Chains A and B, each alone.
Chain A
Amino acid sequence: MSTAAHDTTHGHGHDDHAHDHKPYGIMRWVGSTNHKDIGTMYLWFSFTMFLVGGVMALIIRAELFQPGLQIVQPEFFNSMTTYHGLIMVFGAIMPAFVGFANWLIPMQIGAPDMAFPRMNNLSFWLLPPAALLLIAAQFAPGGGAGVGWTMYAPLTTQAGPAMDLTIFAVHILGISSIMGSINIITTILNMRAPGMTLMKMPLFCWTWLITAYLLVASMPVLAGAVTMTLTDRHFGTNFFNAAGGGDPVLYQHIFWFFGHPEVYIIAIPAFGVVSQIIPAFSRKPLFGYASMVYATASIAILSFLVWAHHMYTVGMPVETQLYFMYATTLIAIPTGVKVFNWVATMWKGSLTFETPMLFAIGFLFLFTLGGFTGLVLSIVPVDVQLHDTYYVVAHFHYVMVAGALFSAFGGIYFWLPKWTGKMYDETLGKWHFWLSLIFFNVTFFVQHFLGLAGMPRRIPDYSLQFAEFNAISTIGAFGFGFSQLLFLYIVVKCIRSGKPAEQRQWDGADSLEWTHLPSPAPYHSFATPPVVK
């Protein structure tokens, strides 16, 4: 934060960092304990999964282009919706932000690496086997489990062996997340440079500290829920079987006790990234830093108290519904504070609109829209009309795609110069933004109308009054999908032949990685901690 600018301007040939001893070949990656290498692996893994999940999304949208069953059979369609969700949430978005955390937290707090480098390696290398299990599930007898990413019992009891592969994958992903979180918490609490008090940390570090606590508290709950499903399937328990004294709704309570914090596990690091980008391009300090920290913490705490708003239609006592409705609407207050703070940061700044800033503004605009539909959905009587319709699909894609994904894109463009020492192609970056923005809205805005008119989600075929908007949505989805290949091209082009980047590529960026480290950041940084005034 408020540190004196380091007088080094060019990374290349900087004597202190000229002798990076990095291992070469495949073992550099397999055995890596370096936070930057592991961060890179997280990011590439997440992009690969993003493409896999994206292909699934396009299969879904292609089938929904017209009424009737044209391309896939219903069971395969169900499998696609299930694994699209699981892969995007656990394989693409979450690892992307863990990748950011790995790269940035040590650099932003002036630490040499993560607290537990070997555990860091293991947290990453658990991901590929889990992803393989999810993909292998498609080829299990009977095909993938078409149960939805929420895996509601007792449908899961009926599913084939793919369900067991999926459950095991979720277990592995959970272990990976918990280890990653322990690492992040320990690093932030113990390894800050002298003078880097908690309230001086860049907001990105704060958001990850809070997110890591959410993960540690909620992932075991998910592991419990899927383990109960597993024992119901194979070992004669009846947790979710009413005939045996269980309750199918119990699964939903447990799942959403994890699931709602999960929403914020995805959103909060995205808030962090945006809170770095907006001040940098406004050339003005973040407005209301302290209130940002408190708002984030409030959102995190509230996230454990509102889970049943995903289940308004299961039939709860009216008093319970009232409680969950009031508690849920409360989240609008800290979220509103954050949005106001970001806008106030831009107010009377000296704004420029490079690609990271465009994605941050896109995030701000569309995430807020997703937040407002969330407020609409929090009102029980209205939700009863909209629950399990495309309105909900539109809502959470505004939050997850235009929210988290746009923030991740913005973050990648923002830090790519620091990571690679090279600049991406600004013109192409802007193309990527505008194509993504337009096609995203073409895909998902019309889904609000589908939901309002009563189209249920997770159906492979629909009645004729939904035809037009579905066709539009499919066109948007294909446009959005192909636009992401442009992103891949931009990143590869940057790595291969980008122009050299400055140490402080963005003049408004003031965290330690910009002020103290050259571009590209050396393999080992802050072996001696900087002094933060």
Chain B
Amino acid sequence: MRNKLAKIFASLSNAALAMLLMVPAFAFAEYKLNLQTPNTALGQTIYDLHTLVTWVCVVIFVVVFSEMFYAIYKHRKSVGHPAANFHEHFWVEVAWTILPTLILIAIAVPATKALIQMRDTSEPDMTIKVTGHQWMWGYDYLQGEGEGISFVARLSTPRAQIQGREPKGPNYLLETDNHVVVPTGKKVRVLVTAADVIHAWYVPALAVKQDAIPGFIRDTWFKAKAPGIYRGQCAELCGRDHGFMPIVVEVMTPTDYSAWVAKQKAGMKRPEAVAAAADKAWTLDELKAQGDKVYAANCVACHQATGAGAPPAFPPLTGSKLAVGAKSGAIDMVLNGKPGTAMAPFKHLSDADIAGVLTYIRNNWANKTGDMVTPAEVKAARGGGAPVAAPAAAPAAAAPAAALPASVYYDTGKAVVTDDSKKTLDDVIAQLKANANTKVEITGYTDKTGNLAQNMDLAKDRAVGVRDALIAAGVAKDRINMKPPATVEAGGDPRQARRVDIKPGA
């Protein structure tokens, strides 16, 4: 705590110093004083409406306060002005009630027209669905030219720029990996929704701002005039990285737009690079390197570079049972997310990317599974056809599904495997042989009755016995992780105190 405070104070004094140094720089800065130059007809209407209302306010302000300053100047005691004693005047009071009413009505007329125009989303030329996620935007072209195109757009400013380790680029925080591309002169209806919390899709130059509400779809529209790139941001507080989910709309001429659509469609039909990546025989290090990039782009905002997350909303990955446990659980979490939490589905990433990031997570920080998640496994988990690159997975389906976790029970005081337990052990061995990647954890249990040291030794002997049985059956030694013996509370099923558990593990 002390350190943190000291750090804050140090930074504040640095900031104060920087302030003094910055002052001369203002002279050269470019100051933007008004709304962004609109690129839609409606935007122009709103711009003019804002100008009108502001001028009305300025005029009233000047009139009222010139009276006040006149009084301050002329009606002061120090110049000997005597106080009058009037305190009401019927007609004046009526006048300054009626006059503002008329002015308001005069403003309301153009405001009403603009509002009705603004909310008319009927007869669009094309429709795009926008989905706000923590913290990126998903886009689906639903109708019109480009129908079927779908992608996700994330902040593409490197973290090094944000943290001041690199100079900031001209479009700092207003750049994304994918642009929303639209044609000029077409009415684009935008359906806006969200996957987790409320966001808002805001592009000032297109005069569009619409809250993205999870579970509901709202709409808005724009018709862009000139080609160009228009940048906006999420406008509704949506958690940690609310300031880091920009929107980039690229407006093209209809011809360029058609070309863009054709290119996108071609990319969708023959995702050669993606397919090649999936079929490639990856090594663990290659997958980790791939995963590092994917992690930095998708995961680091919540789960942090240290993997420690920001509990409780964003759980740690380092030391996480789910992350290093059975691969299927980890794959499922990344593919499908966890409803009701900030963990969004990442289905849109390629198999190779998901495999890479999972391999990275399972072999980084305190996590040392030493195995890799292959693109084929991810593909299989998607239900997208038979697994290709994992022949060992085929018998896995046939193997007894529930062999793991298993418990091997012993007679009191003995470390010899009983006949019943031998069958359990055989099932486990069969499953381990079928799944070359599965690892196990072995724990011996005892209770607290009698001599504790003796009990512990017995539990350990039994666990070692199980390990030797597995090794004898051909299971590699590095797939077995021995855990320290554990005790169970007295009063339960006495069998529990003389067992060895075999669990899938790291």
Contact = CB atoms under 8 A, between A and B. Distances in A.
A385 B35 contact: yes
A287 to B, nearest CB: 5
B223 to A, nearest CB: 15
A62 interface: yes
A283 to B, nearest CB: 4
B31 A454 contact: no
Interface string A266-280: 000000000000000
Contacts of B22: 66, 471
Contact of B97 (A154, A337, A382): A337
A461 B173 contact: yes
A146 interface: yes
Given A329-B104, A474-B19, A75 B213 contact: no
Nearest to A282: B83
Given A155-B237, A385-B50, A459-B242, A465 B198 contact: no
B380 to A, nearest CB: 28
A321 B115 CA distance: 8
Interface stretch (B68-76, B323-331, B367-375): B68-76
Interface stretch (A15-23, A86-94, A156-164, A513-521): A156-164
Interface in A42-80: 58-59, 62, 65-72, 74-75, 78
Contacts of A452: 32-35
Contact of B84 (A322, A349, A368, A458): A349
A337 B64 CA distance: 12
Contacts of A347: 67, 71, 75
B15 A70 contact: yes
A388 B84 contact: no
B234 interface: yes
B268 interface: no
Nearest to B192: A315
Interface in B69-103: 71-72, 75-78, 81-89, 92-93, 96-97, 100-101
A352 B313 contact: no
B64 A340 contact: yes
B197 A158 contact: yes
A155 B197 contact: yes
Contacts of B81: 348-351
A69 B67 CA distance: 47
B26 A471 contact: yes
Nearest to B236: A388
Contacts of A352: 76-78
A288 B88 contact: yes
A425 interface: no
A368 B64 contact: yes
Nearest to B35: A452
B26 A333 contact: no
B218 A449 contact: no
Interface string A327-367: 00110110011011001111111111100000001001100
Nearest to B233: A456
A30 B32 CA distance: 54
Contact of A71 (B15, B19, B118): B15
Contacts of A70: 11, 14-15, 164
A289 interface: yes
Contacts of B162: 68-69, 461
A291 B90 CA distance: 10
Interface string B11-53: 1101110110010001001111111100000100110011001
A318 interface: yes
Contact of B198 (A152, A330, A461): A152
Given A369-B61, A467-B29, A74 B241 contact: yes
A340 B441 CA distance: 81
B216 A242 contact: yes
B115 A387 contact: no
Contacts of A461: 162, 173, 243-244
Interface stretch (B137-145, B334-342, B490-498): B334-342
Contacts of A58: 12
A161 B100 CA distance: 49
A62 B9 CA distance: 11
Interface string B165-207: 0001011111000000000000000001000111010101001
Interface stretch (A206-214, A243-251, A397-405, A487-495): A243-251
B310 A75 contact: yes
Nearest to A460: B243
Contacts of A159: 313
A321 B119 contact: yes
A52 to B, nearest CB: 14
A340 B96 CA distance: 8
Contacts of B342: 158
Contact of B86 (A287, A365, A478): A287
A315 B71 contact: no
B149 interface: no
B83 A283 contact: yes
A29 interface: no
Contacts of A456: 202, 233-235, 242-243
Q: Could you say which of B170, B218, B313 has the most chain A C-beta atoms within 10 Å of its C-beta? A: B313
A226 B81 CA distance: 55
B407 interface: no
Given A152-B237, A286-B87, A381 B115 contact: yes
A468 B236 CA distance: 23
A449 B71 contact: no
B170 A336 contact: no
B394 interface: no
A375 interface: yes
B309 to A, nearest CB: 10
A285 B87 CA distance: 6
Contacts of A330: 104
A478 B313 CA distance: 33
Interface string A117-142: 00000000000000000000000011
A141 B76 contact: no
A472 B164 CA distance: 21
A248 B341 contact: no
Contacts of B215: 241-243, 247-248
Nearest to A160: B312
Interface stretch (B105-113, B288-296, B355-363, B476-484): B105-113
Given A351-B81, A453-B34, 18 more contacts: A68-B164, A72-B8, A74-B244, A78-B240, A158-B196, A160-B313, A242-B215, A248-B214, A321-B115, A332-B100, A332-B104, A347-B71, A348-B81, A349-B83, A352-B77, A388-B209, A388-B235, A456-B234
4 smallest A-B Cβ distances: which pairs? A242-B215, A315-B218, A459-B243, A454-B204
10 contacts: A70-B15, A284-B85, A329-B108, A333-B100, A337-B96, A349-B75, A351-B76, A380-B118, A453-B36, A459-B243
